[in-house]
Structure 1
Amino acid sequence: MDVPPRSNTHTRGDPLARLLEGPRARGAFMIRACFDPPWAVRVEDRAPLTVMLMVRGDAWIVPDTGERVRLRAGDLAIARGPAPYTCGDDPATAPQALILPGGACHYPDGGSLRGRMDLGVRTWGDRLDGAAVLLIGTYLWQGEISGRLLDALPPLLSLPSDVWRCPLTPLLMEEIGRDEAGQEVVLDRLLDLLVIAALRAWFSRPEAEAPAWYRAQADPVVGRVLRRVQDDPARPWTVASLAAEAGVSRAALARRFTELVGEPPMAYLTGRRLALAADRLRDSDDTLEAIARQVGYGSAFALSSAFKRVYGVSPQEHRTRTVARRTQVAGV
């Protein structure tokens, strides 16, 4: 019996669903950290996104710029890279460890900490029953998180336990210490679910400053145009055809779209197409010609010219750098 293709009809008209269609962890760095005070860890891993879930005790997250955040049991924080930060029992505690790209761990003076604080499978710190226990999940490279999602987040956000509940905590605590076949994939999916649940709660908060295009989804004119562009970016759109979709004149659409989104309709469409192309260059082995057709360019040459103008490198250079970055992170 043939299985019908999965439909994405339920995501149409739902900007949050489209925004959260990632993340997609692949071999993410996940660890249970257990500490007794005083403790502090300096994080300079340049990871695009790290989630920290406080299981027991409390901790402070102190970025180099911006406001510090205190975590208590049940609270969650998400740090958007590449900015560094320090996590510890007190903002005044000097770091005892330094985390670098790829999860490399050193003393602050540069000496290797390899194996010195290991407490078992994916567990690290002072002792297993330490006063403070955090579950930490880190997306190691940019392709695992869409650029549109990262752009929608502040450098550091927190969700206190009184505004959200995390049913995944017991399962994460159980699974993070297992060493079984396929465990990495299980943890990747759990991390994705944790981040999606947290971001869904975050975007419902009044303090969440969503990007202009996200807020504009509520406008009856601009929202309709955004949804059409997001659902079918490869269509040969013009300002006239977009205005017809919205039932307004070209001038009215251009004025209202620019006012609410911050850029003209065709500039937004170009950015959307190039972002999709960048994701597909990272996530697939499709030829540049195929990707060009998928995102609305007539040829590989046209896509390459637009891509280099915006990203500063050719599509092939972008793909090569991504592969090199994956290899470096994986330690291959």
Structure 2
Amino acid sequence: MDALSGLIDTQGVRGVLGARIAAGEDWGWWSAETPGAAFHAVTAGTVWIAPEGGDPVQLLPGELLLLPSGGAHALASDPDTLARTSPQRSDDPLVAGDGTVRMGRGSARTHILCAHYAHDPVTSAPLLAALPPVLLLRGQGEDEGLAETVRLVGRELAAPRPGSPVVLARLIDVLLVQALRAWLAREDDSAASPLHAVRDPAVSAAMALIDAAPGDAWTVTRLARESAVSRATLARRFPAILGETPAAYLTRRRLDLAARRLRDTDDTLEVIAQHVGYTSVYAFSRAFRRQQGVPPGRFRVAARAGTIAS
């Protein structure tokens, strides 16, 4: 498993299909803030989008917009309608029998897939937090694979068939990976983050090793040897690029895994502690409380009750 796959998998990042918009002329819709990242892909026509307090952006066929923080935003048919769309002034959508949201007057000329992405609330350091507030990807000229996936989405939206919701859900996950690839290919910001670490061969290799077996007794020396770099190089580059030491990353990964097992299984603390690499329940419980703020037993109760905030 490579580092990017490991980050997406370990943080449980998943796309959830939202609205399928079929729009005509003269329409504006206010989208309230969502708990995950908001996502829009245009398969036909054009749409104008403006994040709350931000500049308007026009999306054309094959293009997509990702709002990693899930902030409120307006969607509209044209700049004038966009400017007057707000929480107090938003058109009421008409939901068709197939679930499509109909907007505007006349025949549908614009088709938009709306979705959102969320990470598992029991994991730390949300993956998408490293992205800019607004991520616009043009598709053509940046990533042909991205444009092709948007075209596949368009075909499913234009002619739904049995299983289309499942296909669309899978394509939404594919689009996120392709969007992250495209952003990493063009982004030159040196800020430390898990996403930036993906571009460094040595650091990403070490991350992938930890993600694949967080319960192993990893040391910087062993990670460096299996990543084919010197210990000094890895010890210097890992915190500079990722923002934390290999030991801190390993601890966080172990405790994230433990949090999932506490919520999703009936395993005892002894079993979970051993599985994630701790030799004693005491050491595990103390480390877990430092990261989560509560002991493992209390965390298990809260997580199963759904009171753990993302």
TM-score with structure 1 setting the length = 0.69
SS in 1 for 2:244: coil
SS in 2 for 1:204: helix
Q: 5 Å matches for 1:13-92?
A: 14-21=2-9, 23-25=13-15, 28-64=16-52, 68-88=56-76, 89-90=78-79, 92=82
Out of 87, 93, 105, the residue aligned to residue 83 of structure 2 is 93
Structure 1 match to 2:276: 295
- For 1:18 and 1:220, locate their aligned partners in 2 and report how far apart those are by CA, in whole Å: 14
- For 2:121 and 2:293, locate their aligned partners in 1 and report how far apart those are by CA, in whole Å: 21
Flag the 1:278–1:86 CA change in 2: closer, same or farther, 3 A.
farther
Out of 181, 189, 197, the residue aligned to residue 170 of structure 2 is 189
Out of 185, 197, 206, the residue aligned to residue 187 of structure 2 is 206
Correspondence 1:306 to 2:283? no
Structure 2 match to 1:235: 216
Correspondence 1:267 to 2:248? yes
CA contact (8 A) 2:39 2:116 kept: yes
CA contact (8 A) 1:53 1:136 kept: yes
- For 2:151 and 2:139, locate their aligned partners in 1 and report how far apart those are by CA, in whole Å: 15
Out of 94, 97, 101, the residue aligned to residue 120 of structure 1 is 97
- In the TM superposition, what is the alpha-carbon distance from 1:325 to its structure 2 partner? 5.2
- In the TM superposition, what is the alpha-carbon distance from 1:143 to its structure 2 partner? 2.1
Flag the 1:84–1:230 CA change in 2: closer, same or farther, 3 A.
same
Quick check: 202-211 or 258-267, which moved more? Answer: 202-211
CA contact (8 A) 2:42 2:150 kept: no
Correspondence 1:164 to 2:143? yes
- In the TM superposition, what is the alpha-carbon distance from 1:216 to its structure 2 partner? 4.5
- For 2:130 and 2:292, locate their aligned partners in 1 and report how far apart those are by CA, in whole Å: 19
SS in 1 for 2:108: coil
- In the TM superposition, what is the alpha-carbon distance from 1:266 to its structure 2 partner? 1.7
- In the TM superposition, what is the alpha-carbon distance from 1:32 to its structure 2 partner? 1.4
**Corresponding residue pairs, total:** 295
SS in 2 for 1:267: helix
SS in 2 for 1:50: strand
Superposition RMSD in Å: 4.0
- For 2:37 and 2:122, locate their aligned partners in 1 and report how far apart those are by CA, in whole Å: 8
Structure 2 match to 1:101: none
Deviation readout 1:127-150 (Å, 9 max, x if unpaired): 6833432111224x5329975532
CA contact (8 A) 1:32 1:133 kept: yes
Structure 2 match to 1:104: none
Q: Which runs of 5+ in 2 are unaligned?
A: none
Deviation readout 1:218-275 (Å, 9 max, x if unpaired): 66765554343333221123456556667756x7754454334333332222222223
User: Could you tell me which amino acid in structure 2 is paired with residue 33 of structure 1?
Assistant: I
CA contact (8 A) 1:38 1:90 kept: no
SS in 2 for 1:74: coil
